[in-house]
Structure 1
Amino acid sequence: MRLEPITWERLADTLADRLLGLKTADGGSWPRVAVDGAPADGAGGTGELAHRVADALRLRGRSALVVGTEGFLRPASLRFEYGHEDVEAYYSGWFDTGALWREVFGPLDPGGSGRVLPDLWDPVADRATRSPYLELPPGGVLLLHGPLLLGHWFPFDLTLHVRLSPGALARRTPEGERWKLPAFERYESEVDPAATADVVVRADDPRHPAWRG
């Protein structure tokens, strides 16, 4: 896979320009973008990149809404049903994909209301956030960021994967989170996000990202 050096700032500008002309696959009014990648220290996190792109879109006169999957975790009783470090549960059961379909993607279907719930569950307090709905005007762009996004058949119009080599991911994952590494190995094997995504950003050295898109 041939990658070209780029800065995070130029990447955000390039993606924003591309999104201005993006047509939705279903003919709807709201382009939906995945910013996928493992959470890791100093690796150009997916949330930071999603916000950079959103800011670049707003400078171009286009509305954008950033939503993180960490706001759609399932309750602790379900996440930790088989222990606090169960890889299978993390891979397939931590995130409330049904709520994401209902509260984020459904309102952006053709003829939808555009009223998106930005988050549903506070994992620290382990209770509903009760956040108000936010209305994304027609033409506004949804940027959904988080890990393991590309294996759920979500109706994205553009997918971006922030890639770390196994060594870089292991180095940048906090010690208490390293039990999750086998889930990302499985993701690489089953989903192959670097081959699946429309845009790939390598962030082994977060000071010198490179991309293919």
Structure 2
Amino acid sequence: MRRVYVVTHPEATHHVENRVGGWFDSALTSRGRLHAGAVAARLREVIPRATRIGLYSSDLRRTVETAAPIASLFGVEPTLVRDLREKSYGVAGGRPQSWLDERFVPPPATGERLDHDEGIEDAETKLEWVTRVYRAVDRIRSAGEEHQVVVTHGGSLSWVVAAWLGLPVTACAYAAFRASAGGITVLHEDDRFRNRTLHTLNDTSHLIG
């Protein structure tokens, strides 16, 4: 059996300042740091104590800060994986959300959705974003730990789940799995059939305040 616990980072400064996140390197707020501790405590409750986990995190500050109390509680060093980052919004990163909203071009309802970049200079296309997150999941799965924790972002969580389930990249033109800040999503692979399932999506029952 293998279980992967996918954590979406808690509240960060770009949330409360209403700024575009993406690759903008925001930090956790004081509330976010409190919730990061709660995430670590919940993981300690559900992961067997005799188990050594693999801990993987996006390299942006808000995810590194989320991974820190997990690393401390489990006595492991996080492996930073750049491919787990949120979508890059190019020149919009760190700007007021209103700036992006005024310029944002939604993807078409039908047709080519994966090559769409929302009309923002230097932004990633959806295909670029999905492809690198799939690459990260391949790397993490190949590591082979029985229990793994992956710390990422709300948007990128969709592609972690899709990659785990073996969905083709083309399915990500429409597929989405929504999770809120500080949520824990649990993925499972059984020993006999090697079936991979989405066990729990966005558990937030551990969050306080």
Q: TM-score range by the shorter chain?
A: 0.3 to 0.5
TM normalised by structure 1 equals: 0.37
